[in-house]
Amino acid sequence: LNTVKHSLMVNLGANSYPIYIQAGVLEHLGLLVQQAGLGPNVLLVTNPTVGGYYLVPAQRSLEAAGLRVSVATVPDGEEYKSLEWASRLYDAALEARLDRRSPVVALGGGVIGDLAGFVAATYLRGVPLIQIPTTLLAQVDSSVGGKVAVNHPRGKNLIGAFHQPALVLIDPVLLRTLSQREYIAGMAEVIKYGVIWDGDFFAYLEEEIARALQLDTEVTTRVITRCCSIKAKIVEQDEREYGVRTLLNLGHTVGHAIEAITGYQAYRHGEAVAIGMVAAGLLAVELGWWEKSDCERLNQLLTRTGLPMTIPGVDPNRLLELMQHDKKVLDGTLRWVLPRKLGEAGVVSQLSDDLVLRSLRRIILDR
Ligand SMILES: NC(=O)c1ccc[n+]([C@@H]2O[C@H](COP(=O)([O-])OP(=O)(O)OC[C@H]3O[C@@H](n4cnc5c(N)ncnc54)[C@H](O)[C@@H]3O)[C@@H](O)[C@H]2O)c1
Ligand SMILES: [Zn+2]
């Protein structure tokens, strides 16, 4: 096979790029890199978990296309998304003799994508980045849109850049080795797209959630394609998050606070976002923004997906405090993304603490 057709384009002028979404597309990595005119050297960044499954096919495909591959393996874990590991990757890039046309290939979940992406954005003031996302979260969210970052001891993603990839390759088959828990957590972001942007997609999920959870290739391919196409449209309108891109933060205000209050241990990001979406939904109903029946449809879909919707025994005041410290709080006002319809959301600020606390209490279970 020497023609692989892209599924989507992200149109950003000189920074435009194709997304390939297809079972088995990993085999064509070398060919696609070559067709994009990139090389001759490649720095492939992965971790031992993902690399254990997919390094050999990725490397083989690149080498078959005549590319010289250097592999850098980062330990598995969010704590390695750091400046220290970025610095080690700069060393690897120098050793691999990467020049301005030689790509960094990120083979892994959002951690590898963000870290390798940060290195690609900064090494030689920017070299091409190829994203091969391997978690559902990375396939529908972090690999598209150009946000790259490392963590700082004082907070997550505080050091970063916008650096759009040159190419995104999404192989839904890779999700088969992902744990059920990681997969379900990623579904929270999938459901989010339905709520903020696309009511028909939400209805499709209601219909096909069982097949999606069984990793039916046809369904997962459609789901991923729809999510990436929504994200592409949003990023095309607002690359740097001054406007509509904010909507992608539905559920994240409360979600980030839940992650922080539990020391980033108890919940996967998507699980915290699911609980956050429930809180946002309750708030929207209280404000008269949203029909109660739509709120119930969301809660039902989250339940059927197997996502958590409540959190046991935390102090709602503490949760509120953490939200007010989130880095996205510009000039001290908390900005909430709330649903208006299934398929439409808006932003509101200056909700009273009382109102917010009332909704928070409803997602907190007594211990
Ligand atoms: N840049 C963005 O726009 C953006 C958006 C959302 C999240 N993020 C970032 O993404 C990160 C979270 O990403 P994540 O949820 O993908 O976590 P992750 O990268 O840590 O992956 C989760 C786990 O799954 C394993 N894994 C990955 N793919 C696998 C596969 N196919 N088979 C078996 N195991 C596999 C990983 O080794 C890891 O243990 C966070 O650092 C977050 O800040 C970035
Ligand atoms: Zn998220």
The CB of 239 under 6 Å from ligand 1? The reply is no
Closest atom of ligand 1 relative to the 111 alpha carbon: 19
Q: Whose CA is nearest to atom 6 of ligand 1?
A: 142
Task: Give residue 112 CA to ligand 1 midpoint distance, Å.
Answer: 7
Closest atom of ligand 1 relative to the 145 alpha carbon: 3
Mutate-to-test residue for ligand 1 from 10, 50, 150, 234, highest number of ligand atoms within 8 A of CB = 50
Q: Whose CA is nearest to atom 21 of ligand 1?
A: 109
In three-state form (DSSP H/G/I as H, E/B as E, the rest C), the secondary structure along 240-267 is CCCCHHHHHHCCHHHHHHHHHHCCCCCC
pLDDT tens digits in sequence order for the chain, 367 residues long:
456 888 999 999 999 999 999 999 999 999 999 999 999 999 999 999 999 999 999 999 999 999 999 999 999 999 999 999 999 999 999 999 999 999 999 999 999 999 999 999 999 999 999 999 999 999 999 999 999 999 999 889 999 999 999 999 999 999 999 999 999 999 999 999 999 999 999 999 999 999 999 999 999 999 999 999 999 999 999 999 999 999 999 999 999 999 999 999 999 999 999 999 999 999 999 999 999 999 999 999 999 999 999 999 899 999 999 998 875 665 677 899 999 999 999 999 889 999 999 999 999 987 6
Q: In 3D, which of 141, 99, 126, 305 has the Cα closest to residue 208?
A: 305
Closest atom of ligand 1 relative to the 47 alpha carbon: 37
pTM over the 0.95 mark: yes
Query: How many C-beta neighbours within 10 Å does residue 317 have?
Result: 11
Contact 186, 270 (CB under 8 A): yes
Instruction: Provide the annotated active-site residues.
Output: 125, 147, 189, 231, 241, 245, 249, 252, 256, 269
**What DSSP string runs through 102-157?**
PPEEEEESHHHHHHHHHHHHHGGG---EEEEE-SHHIIIIITSS-EEEEEETTEEE
Instruction: Give the pLDDT confidence of 190-211 residue by residue, as tens digits.
Output: 999 999 999 999 999 999 999 9
The CB of 322 under 6 Å from ligand 1? The reply is no
Question: What is the token pair recorded at 241?
Answer: 């998050």
Question: Residue 142: nearest ligand to its CA?
Answer: 1
Q: In 3D, which of 74, 95, 46 has the Cα closest to residue 56?
A: 46
What does the pLDDT read at residue 3? 67
